[in-house]
Structure 1
Amino acid sequence: MSVSCTRKALLVTTISLGLICIVADAKAAGFYIQESSITGLGYAFSGASTVLDDATVVYYNPAGMTQINRPTLTMGATLLMPESELTNTGTTFGGVSFSGTGDGGNPYSATPVPTLAAVYPLIQDFLWAGISVNAPFGLANEYDAGWFGRYDSTETELTTINVSPSVAVKVDENISIGAGIDIQYADATLKADINAGAAGIGVSTLEGDDLSAGFHAGIQVRPWDGTTLAAHYRSKMNHNLQGRIKVEGLLAGNSNTLGNAQLNLPDIATFGIAQQLDPQWKVMGQAMWFGWNEFDEIRAKSNAGTTLSNVVQNYQPSWAFAIGAEYVMNDTWTFRGGIQYDQTPTTDEYRTSRTPDGDRTWFTVGTTYAVNEHWDIDLAAGYINIASEEINVTRNSGSAVVRADTKGHVGLLAAGFSYKF
């Protein structure tokens, strides 16, 4: 193969590796991170659209701001502690069994996910304004050097920052509506090894970022005393990542090229119901639909407009279902718990080692301690079991086939506070 052909193949492979694999992990379908509320985590987000009563409701359903009667600031963070184990089940390179230096170890490390939100009543019993800042999509992992899936992935880092200014109106005592815009920044760095034969083994890197915008809108309805119904919609977000595509470490064919690739994040529809059973107990249920079918292909282009690759992803729409309960013991202590079933949008043919995703089952608990009329302290913990799945993907211009079984889990610890002015 000529040097120019080698460069072209490596460029296409690099982009494909990076963007194919960036969208696959998750706390809720794909790599969406639900954990933007400590209170909501306590009941597995079963009441996020209906009964969430701190400022983080701005993100989950801005219509819920109408239930907050004082200016409120909420801050917190959730520590995500993921573990993943991949077992080689027949990985090959050039048609020959390939084991590398091992299974790559646990590629994840503990990562904090922060959240910040504020609500301000503008016109008493009519108009509210709020803003939330969170990280709704993200991923960070790194495998041991030389592992058996090195031609699929070695390192991935995706960070998003989402700012959601919103307003809410109380139509009457039974109906509230809310809406806002989403301004989202995305930054990605993705690496994988490349085997170029006589040119040696190198490292491919994709680095890119983008700023994009979307919208969200929600409603809460109280058809009768003690019952709340809710619906919320958040639009898809289309990022055109602009950056550099590099191949380094080869004897020939290294490159450093400007390029771009489309990253389409799903729209999300939420439906919730909550029922107050008595002055102390309430129960909640929520369903979330994720439009991951938006992520059906990755089309990577040079900045000159030439299509370098078009890789079918075949992601499927997915659902998450949650139920939970909350118990108000007294004016000081509130306790909550919940479970959630969270479906993956991936299939065996397209699942990758960057994000070895599977259906997830959540178990969570939480509490709020009301220090005084101004301060609330929120704590929550959870465990997510990730179902075992298979990986069967082809990489390195067709010469590497990565086959593996996956299993994993995520531990969650969260703490935060609300201040009511």
Structure 2
Amino acid sequence: MMMAKTLLFAAGAVLLGTSGATAGGFQVYLPSQQSIGMGGVGVGLSMEQAAQFLNPGAMAMLRQNGVQVGVSATFARLAFRPISGGPQRELENTTVTPFNVYASFGPKDGKFRAGVAVYTPYGSTLKYQPGWEGRFALTEITLRAVYVQPTVSYAITDQLSVGAGLMILASGSVNLQRAVALPSAEGSIELDGKTKTGFGVNAGIFFKPSDKLSVGISYRSKIDAKVEGGDVILADITPALQPNFAADRFDATLPLPATVNIGIGVTPTEKLTIGLDANLTQWSAYRSLRFDFTKDGQPAQVGRGTFSESKRSYQDALTFRLGGQYKATDELALRLGAAYDFSPVKTGYVTPETPDNDRVIATAGVGYDITENFGVDASFMFQAILKRTQTEAQLLDNGTTDRVAGTYRTNISIPGIGLRYNF
């Protein structure tokens, strides 16, 4: 039973990854360098091509066609101390580089605009030190995902516009490594697979009743990320136990939850812009995670069964964001922001691949127009994930003993750079 539980948890880590390095749960929220510098706001603003992600309804209000690209680098410092004491464990150094590309086109004085966005809402790497207490749940994981979103937006009036985009999970891959607990030795397992193409909708409404005030609301629907026929690779399994590990493929489905976003933009002066956003992520769709194991297309055994199911029981969670931009000169823009991100992970459900808790976030950024049409943006985000302790008693109470008791503490630094060209 113990072997089945630890394999189940490892498979769960394949889909979850460590994308939560940039948002609660396993969600990434790095819209663009301009938005990051302002705390991630933008639902109630129409400032840049990243409106395709933040609020497609605002894209029609952009005054110029344009292209912008950006990349961030996440540096996570995670420390774990087992509940029983002992040495502190830390992550080995890893760097992840989520990116974004946005482009929109339309008649210069027209009401219609079309665009395309490419971004990485999931993509991380995590590697624990050898010999750590949770090695039978997780030692290393890599997750990659790329979304493509064609988008259209229309200005119904000079104050009101709408828009929608087709979200396409175009490419995704996962790789996991972990130790396997055997009666008199340790084996290893690697799970590797690609996600199937998935589809969702990103839609929004933008309203600007005056030059100083704007509001917006957007909705990004759930996408089910499916892995079918992923590889199960086992090593150092003792011959006597090999019949209990016959499977060489696995199938699983992970819901990527829907989000509802509301934003307000205020422009007190021509130089100052302020944004306030609230994001509700519907994590309650994530109740459990089931894995079906097969060999040659038929159910096959892993541990003591042909499938396993693990509790998640996430809860819906809010994020509040506040940020601003000040035009120091015609060419130079200075940005600051902050956010508070509530964790969807309940007590007793914390896992090594998402050692999550509420997050305090601070950001800063700068933009510079090199020419009338060409500019560069830089951003920096710091996240402090509040310390979280999970006890053996809590795991027993929730029936979640397929994870590790102990204390997690995580800080994340995310610098980024972006380029934009308007025409």
TM-score w.r.t. structure 2 length?
A: 0.89
CA distance in 2, matches of 1:84, 1:323: 26
Give percent identity, aligned residues only.
22
More strand by share: 1
Q: Does 1:250 align with 2:237?
A: yes
Instruction: Using the TM superposition, name which of 58-67 and 259-268 deviates more.
Output: 58-67
CA distance in 2, matches of 1:181, 1:245: 33
Instruction: Using the TM superposition, name which of 299-308 and 183-192 deviates more.
Output: 299-308
TM-score w.r.t. structure 1 length?
A: 0.89
Residue 136 (structure 1) aligns with: 121
Correspondent of 1:121 among 106, 112, 136: 106
8 Å CA contact 1:15, 1:206 repeated in 2: no
Structure 1 position 105, deviation (Å): 2.3
The one-letter code matched in structure 2 to 1:350 is Y
8 Å CA contact 2:361, 2:382 repeated in 1: yes
CA distance in 2, matches of 1:278, 1:196: 67
The one-letter code matched in structure 1 to 2:367 is T
RMSD: 2.3
Structure 1 position 362, deviation (Å): 0.9
1:179-227 CA-to-partner distances (Å, cap 9, x unmatched) read: 01111132111222111104x2111222122121111100101133411
8 Å CA contact 2:134, 2:352 repeated in 1: yes
8 Å CA contact 1:284, 1:324 repeated in 2: yes
CA distance in 1, matches of 2:103, 2:172: 23
1:229-244 residue pairs with structure 2 within 5 A? 229-242=215-228, 243-244=230-231
Structure 1 position 22, deviation (Å): 4.1
1:127-166 residue pairs with structure 2 within 5 A? 127-166=112-151
CA distance in 2, matches of 1:11, 1:259: 14
Correspondent of 2:9 among 16, 22, 39: 16
Residue 79 (structure 1) aligns with: 73
Q: Does 1:414 align with 2:382?
A: no
Structure 1 position 67, deviation (Å): 2.5
Instruction: Using the TM superposition, name which of 348-357 and 78-87 deviates more.
Output: 348-357
Residue 275 (structure 1) aligns with: 266
Structure 2 portions without partners, runs of 5+ = 300-305
Correspondent of 2:39 among 44, 51, 61: 44
Secondary structure of the structure 2 residue equivalent to 1:40:
helix
1:307-348 CA-to-partner distances (Å, cap 9, x unmatched) read: 601212111111100111111122111111110001111123
Instruction: Using the TM superposition, name which of 345-354 and 331-340 deviates more.
Output: 345-354
Residue 283 (structure 2) aligns with: 292
CA distance in 1, matches of 2:375, 2:400: 56
1:10-409 residue pairs with structure 2 within 5 A? 10=3, 13-19=6-12, 22-23=15-16, 25-46=20-41, 48-90=42-84, 103-122=88-107, 124-184=109-169, 185-198=171-184, 200-210=185-195, 211-242=197-228, 243-252=230-239, 253=242, 255=246, 257-303=248-294, 308-392=307-391, 402-409=404-411
CA distance in 2, matches of 1:365, 1:236: 30
Structure 1 position 408, deviation (Å): 1.3
8 Å CA contact 1:350, 1:392 repeated in 2: no
CA distance in 2, matches of 1:388, 1:135: 27
Structure 1 position 382, deviation (Å): 2.1
Instruction: List structure 1 segments (4+ residues) > 6 angstroms apart after TM superposition.
Output: 397-401
The one-letter code matched in structure 2 to 1:233 is Y
8 Å CA contact 1:10, 1:247 repeated in 2: no
Secondary structure of the structure 1 residue equivalent to 2:12:
helix
CA distance in 1, matches of 2:275, 2:159: 18
Secondary structure of the structure 1 residue equivalent to 2:90:
coil
Structure 1 portions without partners, runs of 5+ = 1-5, 92-98
CA distance in 2, matches of 1:149, 1:266: 27
The one-letter code matched in structure 1 to 2:76 is P
1:151-202 CA-to-partner distances (Å, cap 9, x unmatched) read: 121011111101111000000011010001111132111222111104x211
Residue 303 (structure 2) aligns with: none
CA distance in 1, matches of 2:21, 2:283: 12
CA distance in 1, matches of 2:215, 2:44: 7
The one-letter code matched in structure 2 to 1:75 is V
Structure 1 position 106, deviation (Å): 2.0
Instruction: Using the TM superposition, name which of 397-406 and 178-187 deviates more.
Output: 397-406
